[in-house]
């Protein structure tokens, strides 16, 4: 593996780890979902989730920190499922995180534009 590949791989891994919490909270922003559904939706975002299992410890942590809460609901196609939804605290945190992400995204965008001009 080339050195630049290693650097790129490390960078994308770190980025992915950092963004996964934001992505999970945004997924739940639309309404309650159960674990497998969250994973499926995140899986639709290209290269965001490499190992699907990493989503579950994050869900547990978010619940412990009271950003999400869980409840059990009967399922028509199998055993009862554990659903997750945002708490008011989680909704507020998601708003802050999205604002920060937008600012960051815009700042990087303007840096790219500047580079394009030079």
* CB-nearer residue toward another protein: 32 or 52: 52
- Residues making contact with another protein (CB under 8 A): 1, 3, 6, 34-36, 39, 50-54, 56-57, 59-61, 63-65, 70, 77-79, 81-82
**Cβ at position 112, least distance to another protein in Å:** 29
How far apart are CB 113 and another protein at their closest, in Å?
33
Reading the block at residue 114, the tokens are: 């500047």
Nearer to another protein, 34 or 101 (CB): 34
- Measured from the CB atom, the residue of 51 and 118 that comes closer to another protein is 51
Nearer to another protein, 70 or 87 (CB): 70
């Amino acid at each position: 593996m080339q050195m630049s590949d290693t650097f790129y791989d490390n960078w994308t891994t770190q980025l992915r780890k950092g963004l996964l919490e934001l992505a999970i909270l945004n997924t739940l922003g639309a309404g309650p979902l159960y674990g497998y559904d969250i994973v499926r939706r995140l899986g639709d975002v290209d290269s965001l989730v490499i190992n699907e299992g990493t989503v579950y410890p994050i869900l547990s942590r978010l619940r412990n920190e009271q950003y999400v809460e869980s409840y059990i609901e009967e399922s028509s196609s199998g055993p009862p499922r554990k659903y997750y939804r945002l708490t008011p605290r989680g909704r507020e945190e998601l708003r802050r995180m999205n604002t920060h992400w937008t600012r960051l995204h815009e700042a990087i965008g303007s840096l790219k534009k500047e580079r394009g001009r030079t």
